[in-house]
């Protein structure tokens, strides 16, 4: 009977685990939906910003702003690494860490998220700064991150600034991605960005003809307006990667917790079957003993 008690305890323990993983799966699904809605809610702002920038770049010299400056040679690189604060999201952080080590082996790091900050710090990377971002991601919390990246680039400490994050492709697919943030390529302003997985189907390339057809009046000068809009553009790019990463995190956790729940339920069935076999064997043994005793008394 001791074995039966042990199996009953294991079944109860696994059922409790399954309830926890199921609850985590539902919470992650709700948070993923919020992250998707959050990304799409900024589309009107992004579309208008891209439209103005497309028009603006035709009215100024491409080298009129230092954020557009193409620097020669391969100087130092700074990379913003966006990982998660919590685990239980599969190989999300592991895959992103491999991507950073392979594609930016010597870059200094600005981190968002505890998991890769700890990992890269132990690997001896120069950790320039670390930021914590709430969930859901407030747009205001992207500003200090973008401001630091812009300052480091404008001060000439780095010739290239990139961002590493996990792109939300679909609920089942999250892709580690590294894209260049600075210097901004004037040719790519207004283009559809392939990493905007959360808004896939909603995001299109800016209509250049339509943008140029509008007769904007820039005051005081086009250069002054560009000086204001380009930092906003960088700020929005940082915000978009934060939202992408957060949606990927919740999606990966939802899938991982669903797999854990399915495995727990499968294990419960196996343990229940084993329990019933042992119980049946115990009953059969008792019946044999009773029958044997009755035969001996006859």
Nearest to 68 by CA among 198, 229, 209: 229
Strands in the chain per DSSP E: 77-82, 108-112, 127-131, 160-168, 174-182
pLDDT attached to residue 5: 86
pLDDT attached to residue 201: 53
- The correct answer on CATH 1.10.287.80 for the domain covering 2-25+255-297 is yes
| Higher per-residue pLDDT: 212 or 183 | 183
* Token pair listed for 291: 């029958």
pLDDT attached to residue 97: 92
Question: What average pLDDT does this structure show over 34-56?
Answer: 74
Concerning whether 89 is annotated as a catalytic residue, the answer is: yes
Q: Edge-to-edge strand order for the sheet containing 77-82?
A: 127-131, 108-112, 77-82, 160-168, 174-182
Please tell me the distance from the alpha carbon of residue 208 to that of residue 51, in angstroms, as a whole number. 8
Question: Tell me: the pLDDT tens digits for 268-298?
Answer: 999 999 888 888 888 888 878 788 877 777 7
**Cβ contacts of residue 165 below 8 Å, gap of 6+?**
81, 82, 96, 176, 177, 195, 241, 242, 244, 245, 248
For residue 204, pLDDT beyond 60? no
Rounded mean pLDDT of the chain?
A: 82
CATH number for the region 27-252 comes to: 3.40.1380.10
pLDDT attached to residue 61: 67
Residue 139 half-sphere exposure toward CB, CA atoms < 13 A: 13
Question: What average pLDDT does this structure show over 251-262?
Answer: 92
**What is the pLDDT confidence band of residue 68, given thresholds at 50, 70 and 90?**
confident
| Higher per-residue pLDDT: 188 or 287 | 287
**Cβ contacts of residue 119 below 8 Å, gap of 6+?**
93, 97
* pLDDT-above-70 percentage for the chain: 84
**What does the DSSP 8-state code read for residue 195?**
T
Please tell me the distance from the alpha carbon of residue 117 to that of residue 80, in angstroms, as a whole number. 11
Question: What average pLDDT does this structure show over 96-104?
Answer: 92
Scan for tokens 């890769």, then name that residue: 116
Whether the CB-CB separation of 49 and 132 falls below 8 Å is answered with no
Question: What average pLDDT does this structure show over 60-76?
Answer: 72
pLDDT attached to residue 181: 87
Catalytic residue among 11, 52, 68, 89: 89
Question: Tell me: the pLDDT tens digits for 223-250?
Answer: 777 788 888 888 988 998 898 889 889 9
pLDDT attached to residue 265: 94
pLDDT attached to residue 78: 93
Name beta bridge partners: 267: none
Whether the CB-CB separation of 48 and 190 falls below 8 Å is answered with no
Least confident of 96-105, 183-192, 281-290: 183-192
- Cα–Cα distance list, 267 to 4, 167, 172 (Å): 16, 33, 24
For the chain, which residues make up each domain, given as ranges? 2-25+255-297, 27-252
Rounded to 10 deg, the angle between the 222-297 and 142-154 helix axes is: 130
**Cβ contacts of residue 127 below 8 Å, gap of 6+?**
108, 109, 110, 111, 117, 120, 121
**What is the pLDDT confidence band of residue 51, given thresholds at 50, 70 and 90?**
confident
For residue 164, pLDDT beyond 90? yes
Question: What average pLDDT does this structure show over 94-99?
Answer: 92
pLDDT attached to residue 62: 62
Please tell me the distance from the alpha carbon of residue 103 to that of residue 77, in angstroms, as a whole number. 11
**What is the pLDDT confidence band of residue 98, given thresholds at 50, 70 and 90?**
very high
Whether the CB-CB separation of 77 and 161 falls below 8 Å is answered with yes
Question: What average pLDDT does this structure show over 168-180?
Answer: 86
Question: Tell me: the pLDDT tens digits for 109-135?
Answer: 999 989 899 888 888 888 999 999 988
pLDDT attached to residue 148: 94
The string over 260-298, giving b where at least 16 C-beta atoms fall within 10 Å of a residue's C-beta and e elsewhere, is bbeebeebbeebeeebeeeeeeeeeeeeeeeeeeeeeee
- Cα–Cα distance list, 114 to 82, 129, 169, 244, 259 (Å): 9, 12, 23, 17, 24
pLDDT attached to residue 211: 53
């Amino acid at each position: 009977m001791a074995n039966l008690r042990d199996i009953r305890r294991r079944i109860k323990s696994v059922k409790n685990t399954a309830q926890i993983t199921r609850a985590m799966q539902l919470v992650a699904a709700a948070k993923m939906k919020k992250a998707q809605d959050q990304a799409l809610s900024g589309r009107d702002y992004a579309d208008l910003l891209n439209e103005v920038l497309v028009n603006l770049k035709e009215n100024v010299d491409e080298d009129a702003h230092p954020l557009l400056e193409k620097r020669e040679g391969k100087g130092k690189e700074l990379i913003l690494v966006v990982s998660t604060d919590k685990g239980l999201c599969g190989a999300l952080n592991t895959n992103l860490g491999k991507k950073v080590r392979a594609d930016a082996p010597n870059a200094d790091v600005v981190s968002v998220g505890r998991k890769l900050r700890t990992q890269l710090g132990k690997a001896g990377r120069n950790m320039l700064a670390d930021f914590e971002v709430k969930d859901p991601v407030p747009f205001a919390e992207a500003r200090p991150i973008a401001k630091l990246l812009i300052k480091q680039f404008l001060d000439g400490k780095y010739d290239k600034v990139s961002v590493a994050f996990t792109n939300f492709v679909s609920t089942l697919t999250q892709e580690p991605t590294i894209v260049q943030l600075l210097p901004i390529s004037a040719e790519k302003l207004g283009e559809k960005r392939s990493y905007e997985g959360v808004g896939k189907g909603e995001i299109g390339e800016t209509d250049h003809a339509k943008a140029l057809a509008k007769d904007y009046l820039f005051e005081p000068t086009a250069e002054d307006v560009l000086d204001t809009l380009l930092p906003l553009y960088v700020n929005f790019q940082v915000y978009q990667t934060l939202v992408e990463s957060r949606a990927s995190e919740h999606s990966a956790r939802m899938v991982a917790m669903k797999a854990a729940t399915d495995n727990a339920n499968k294990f419960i069935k196996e343990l229940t079957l084993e329990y019933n076999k042992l119980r049946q064997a115990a009953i059969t043994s008792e019946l044999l003993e009773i029958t044997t005793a009755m035969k001996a008394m006859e």
